[in-house]
Amino acid sequence: MAIITISRDYASGGRKLGRLLAKRLGYHYVDKFLFQKIAEDLNVSESTLESFEKSREYRISNTFSKLFSQGYIERIVGHDKSVVEDKEYQTSLKNLILKTAEEDDVVIIGRAAYFFLKDMKNCYHFHLVAPMDWRKKYAMEEMNLPGSTVNEIIDRHDKNQHWFLRSICGECFNDPVLFDLTLNISRIPNEKAIEVIKWVANVKDS
């Protein structure tokens, strides 16, 4: 019985490891589902939310939207108000993560869950890292990214992820004391990583 969060570098296999871990433990796996719930909560489309999470430049749209009333924007664009404000996003994300954690027996991937749940009991936070060469190989072999642009894609994801986490958690977003354990996934096979995580979280297979 535990809540396990996994944050990770892009192309370090976090989703794959999370699914394997959740299946082994018989836990709920939360990733895309949480993203969809946030979109529903904010009354926006998933594409709008995705743009907010991935692009630092999306703040321009938010600034522009402040020139007009919410009613005006909704009349123009319909149900999807097309913009996501930082504060309402953070509030929705925090509430949804806390609600998800209350159900217990869950593996949560990304979304700064380690930060929102840092004071929750029986909650364990893991961070996956890997050298750039390993991540490039993983991206090409497991994620089917083209070798000609893999460097650019990883670099863009890293920058956007740092911006996103900094906007949510502040400058301490990468403080190592926020995590129970950091795993260099290039040195630890998934099966071994799962056993290590189980030991730290004191959980057993279902």
- pTM given for the model: 0.81
159: which 2 tokens? 């920058």
Domain-by-domain residue ranges, the chain? 3-201
Quick one: average pLDDT of 80-108?
79
CATH class of 3-201: alpha beta
Which of 14-28, 40-54, 99-113 is least confident? 40-54
Which residues are CB-neighbours of 92 under 8 A, at least 6 positions away?
38, 41, 42
Q: d(Cα 133, Cα 28) in Å, to the nearest integer? A: 32
Asked if pLDDT for residue 82 goes beyond 60, the answer is no
63: which 2 tokens? 């600034």
